[in-house]
Amino acid sequence: MKLQDIKHSSSSTRMAANLCVAVVLFVTGCIDPYPPPLSKGEVNFLVVDGFLNSGNGVARVKLSRALPLESSARYPTEQKAVVQVEGDNGVIFSLPEVSAGTYQAVRSDLTIGSRYRLLIRTADLKTFESDFVTLKQSPELGDVTWVVEGDGITILVDARDASGSTRYYQWLYTETWEYDADKYSGYYIRNGSAIQRQPHEQIYVCYSSGESSKVLISTTRDQSGDVINDFPLVHIPVGSKKISRNYSINVQQRALDESSYSYWLQLQQTTEELGGLFDPLPGRVTGNIRATNGSKEVVLGYFNGGGVQEKRIYINHYALPRELRVVRRKFCPVDSIPNAQLRTLANGTAVIEPYGPPPGIEGYTITGATCLDCRSEGGTVTKPSFWPF
């Protein structure tokens, strides 16, 4: 049976630019009774995270396998699958695998109001399909602001639909922050000598990014107006590296229908009990995807799509109230090493600066590598193209 011949229906949604769908994700219908925890034998459920972005034309699907609650392993990606999207007009297009478990294509014909479903054939020839979903346009994204709250700052977002036709909202975000090492390394060792760093060799300032890991949804279905004010997205505590220099958050807003909202609501309630989307889940939150050919195999996740709205803001460390301008540093004891012993250090070893009375240099000061290299905290020295500072 050809994948194109599979018939059924679908609806898709993908959590975050990179929502590790696989993390043990999970699935049950929004109104099904809560099932028992996953056992050690239930480790092979297919997990699907798919979204069709009609704004930029990106159709992306991530496939992985679920993990049981007691597992601490990294989720396995589902590779070498055949992934297709079918429109209700009969047009079918393929999503090639662009990285392990990620299938993606760019299309210019993803239009609001069109209906699509997802078709999957795994490497072991099992087939799955989703409900047909209608691409829905998100209304314009409202203000993205921040306020001082408790021991830090909270990022807030507003939403409004003058037509009153949205009612169900979802937000995702990507944070990017600039931070520095605890000590500045002006030199490094090469063949027993200390070499002064050039600007392109600096390891003091880094940039790091992270994506939303919680389900961020809200509804106005019980309100007369379709307006949401000051919805909290993320709280950043005082002393966090995120706000130690410069910080940016790019917020994405999606419009949901009632079915997809119910799915995310149940997933939200489940993950809040455990701490986050990246924790193993104790039960299945099934979405709008199912096995075909009479198979009873469980598949987890959701397929959705539509037009999204985005907005980015920046926060400078010195724009914070004085009491929040706290930079927490590691304890970095500084030692000295005379010139004669520099040859004992490996090439690339970071050192701080020279010491000794002028005009001579007796040696160099040094401390732990993690104190001198900002990359030790997972960032990169490459400045993002959008960074204005």
355-376 pLDDT per residue, tens: 998 889 999 999 999 999 999 9
Q: How confident is the model at residue 44, as a pLDDT?
A: 76
**Strand segments (E) across 122-190:** 127-130, 133-134, 136-137, 141-149, 152-160, 168-180, 187-190
User: Cβ neighbours of residue 286 under 8 Å, at least 6 residues apart?
Assistant: 27, 28, 29, 32, 298, 299, 300
DSSP code for 380:
B
Q: pLDDT for 88-135, tens place per residue?
A: 999 999 999 999 999 999 999 999 999 999 999 999 999 999 999 999
Q: How confident is the model at residue 69, as a pLDDT?
A: 60
Instruction: Say which amino acid occupies 58.
Output: V
The H-assigned helical ranges of the chain are: 258-274, 369-372
pLDDT under 50 in the chain at which residues? 1-41, 275-282
Q: How confident is the model at residue 284, as a pLDDT?
A: 62
Q: Among residues 335, 315, 20, which one has the least CA distance to residue 175?
A: 315
Tokens of 172: 């995702």
For 222: left if phi > 0, alpha if psi spans -120 to 50, otherwise beta; the answer is alpha
Global confidence as pTM: 0.83
Tokens of 166: 């949205």
Q: Among residues 261, 303, 253, 307, which one has the least CA distance to residue 53?
A: 307
Cis peptide before 359 (omega within 30 of 0): yes
What is the sign, positive or negative, of the torsion defined by CA atoms of 97, 89, 11, 292?
Answer: negative
Give the residues across from 209 on adjacent strands.
176
Q: How confident is the model at residue 290, as a pLDDT?
A: 95
Instruction: Say which amino acid occupies 388.
Output: P
Q: How many CA atoms lie within 13 A of 132 on its CB side?
A: 13
Q: How confident is the model at residue 294, as a pLDDT?
A: 87
Q: How confident is the model at residue 381, as a pLDDT?
A: 98
Q: How confident is the model at residue 247, as a pLDDT?
A: 98
Distance between CA 292 and CA 287 in Å, rounded?
15
Q: How confident is the model at residue 11, as a pLDDT?
A: 32
- Are the CB atoms for 292 and 120 separated by under 8 Å? no
Q: How confident is the model at residue 42, as a pLDDT?
A: 52
